[in-house]
Amino acid sequence: MDALKMRILTDGRNLGNGILKVDGFINHQVDPVLIDACGRELAGRFGNLRATKVLTAEISGIAPALTTALHLGIPIVYARKTKPITMPNQVFLTLAPSHTKGRMVELIVSPEYLSKDERVLIIDDFLATGQTIAGLAQLAQAAGATVVGIGAVIEKIFEGGREFLRPLGVPIESLARISDMSEGRILFAD
């Protein structure tokens, strides 16, 4: 996606230590035209998998997951990081490290919205180490659902997440693959 790559180069900022700041257009303030194009592209790449739900993590994954689900015509479920009082006592819960928060976070899904026989497509804003996405896959598997694919808007391939997730045996797609962020650079793999 050339428009996404151009936006990363013009408005993204390499903050060092593998942190790419894209919160002016992807995950704090959202450019709806760009994120809709990302969702359309991801839906096109995964359209043949017959997914029944899109699963993501609160909060940064919601925008790309929502537009992907919209273009697939299926619901989105997002794993919450705190359990609201409206959620049942029995939930699916796992822990995953947050690169930007610098600590472990809970990922919680209600069994009301994720169940066996679901075909789950995981969508997130970033694929870096793969830990958050692996946590989402664990939630889906705990529900008895089948993970059918993994998609990310931006992949930092130098952090090894794709290899970490490869044992899941599902297609992994990303729209912008960054190969190097050393010395303030942002270099794309393709």
More confident residue, 101 or 18: 18
Q: What pLDDT, in 10s, does the model give residues 25-63?
A: 998 999 999 999 999 999 999 999 999 999 999 989 999
Q: Give all strands (DSSP E) within 17-118, no chain letters.
A: 19-21, 53-57, 76-79, 92-98, 103-109
Q: What pLDDT, in 10s, does the model give residues 91-143?
A: 999 998 876 677 888 899 999 999 999 999 999 999 999 999 999 999 999 99
CA distances from 129 to 86, 97, 137 (A): 32, 9, 14
Q: Domains in the chain and their CATH numbers?
A: 2-188 (3.40.50.2020)
The secondary structure of residue 101, as a DSSP letter, is T
Task: Decide: 187 and 164 in contact? Cβ < 8 Å.
Answer: no
